[in-house]
Amino acid sequence: MDRCESPGVSGAPRLAEMIGEAERVVVFTGAGMSTESGVPDFRSPGGVWSRMKPIYFQDFVASEDRRREAWTRTFSGAAGWVGAKPNAGHDAVARLVASGKATLVITQNVDNLHQDSGVPAERIVELHGAASYAKCLECGLRHELADLKAPFLERGEIPACRACGGLVKTATISFGQPMPAAEMARAEAACLTCDLFLVLGSSLVVYPAAGLPLLAKSHGARLVIVNRDPTDQDPFADLVLHEEIGAVMQAVAALTSPGGRGRDAPTGASG
């Protein structure tokens, strides 16, 4: 395994070489992907859960007070992703997808930044849902947040489905809520056919999503982890870079673009 823990982007040439050698890259992103856009992660000191406790799915369903609290958080922007813009890492991933090298982006994030960076929605699997809209828990009808905001803020109306009257919740997957079966199946299928699985900014502690890198590895894919801090899966990876994602991926994009070094990147440059 190659490992690089020094500051800078010394591991970028090796990663660029591995991408150049791959035919089907799957990108897997976690909270660290978006922290460079100013979006706080959930578990670090100062993160979202250190400022407010999560509202479990069963509590949302059972308690009007918890539903009111959840919607207050949504419309106050308390989670911190409102107004965030894609960073250099998002842009580099979008370029990988546009080039045809990356076949799918699997994300644990709910901030819509991959879509905002230009990745087509059909190339994204959102394992933990999305914060940009809401869904009825009964019939699944989509509701736009803009349509729910004024009745809640002006009249205190907790959103209910306009079609069936069921409970409406942001389309994020809360603690205790079942994972979306179709999205998990699609992600697992991609793991079976990719030849490079690239983890960007995930601590790899939230399962079942965190099981995907090892699933890909067990089916022959090379595994690369780029994350600020060590993860439990580092020992299984073919390349580990403890560097800033935006700088690494921007350098990789330059190396793998027409005119870049790509396959000719020096293999001993991983630090």
> Can you give the pTM of this predicted structure?
0.86
Distance CA 243, CA 224 (A): 13
pLDDT digits (tens, 9 = 90+) for 12-67: 999 999 999 999 999 999 999 998 988 876 555 555 544 668 899 999 999 999 99
Looking at the chain, list the stretches that DSSP marks H as alpha helix, in order from N- to C-terminal side.
12-21, 48-51, 57-62, 64-76, 88-99, 113-116, 145-155, 181-193, 212-218, 245-256
Looking at the chain, the whole-number percentage of residues with pLDDT higher than 70 is: 85
> What residues act catalytically?
128
19 contacts 256 by C-beta, under 8 angstroms: yes
Distance CA 222, CA 242 (A): 17
Q: What is the pLDDT of residue 172?
A: 93
Is residue 83 left, alpha or beta, with left meaning phi > 0 and alpha meaning psi from -120 to 50? left
Residues of the chain scoring pLDDT < 50: 5-8, 49-50, 260-271
Beta bridge partners of 120: none
- C-alpha distances (whole Å) from 268 to each of 2, 3, 141, 170 are 9, 11, 53, 47
